[in-house]
Amino acid sequence: VTGPQLGSRLLVSRYYLTINYKNHRIFVLYELGASNMGYITTTLSTTEIPLFEIKVRSHFSKLFSKDKTTFQVKCSSDSLIHFIYRSIQSCQLDTIAETNQFEPEIRNYLEGNQMILETRHHLEFYDKESALVALINFHQSIIDYSERIISYRR
């Protein structure tokens, strides 16, 4: 067969939201259709935050592990790990993850001379609105943490 491929078209809807918080922008992209993914990114004002990665523990690993927490945090800084666990609880990310199939992956990374905070998660669960609010609150808590680092350095 030559020419255009036959088949159906897949409608993809993208929803954007930008939130300003303490001179930072939290950018939200929800893509519904092909991938059903949510992305939230924030550029932080400091690069002095240790790198971290947050994932949801699988039900299988929680079953056989002594650690029954929903989230697993990898970071070189114990104080930041404790802060992240407190933020996860205060933003209710753990509650949403336990009652839905909400499995965000959150990390920060250096891009040039900027620190980027990024969250990726699928949107195939029921309580999308509560999850979005909780993730925005979590990004705001990391912004607050980064602002405290800047104020301590001065």
> pTM, whole model, 2 decimals?
0.87
7-56 tens-digit pLDDT: 567 788 899 999 999 999 999 999 988 789 999 999 998 888 999 999 99
C-beta separation of 121 from 31 below 8 A:
no
User: Where do we find the tokens 């255009």?
Assistant: 4
58-111 tens-digit pLDDT: 655 555 666 667 899 999 999 999 999 999 999 999 999 988 889 999 999 999
Point out which residues pair with 109 in neighbouring strands.
116
pLDDT confidence band for 143 (50 / 70 / 90): very high
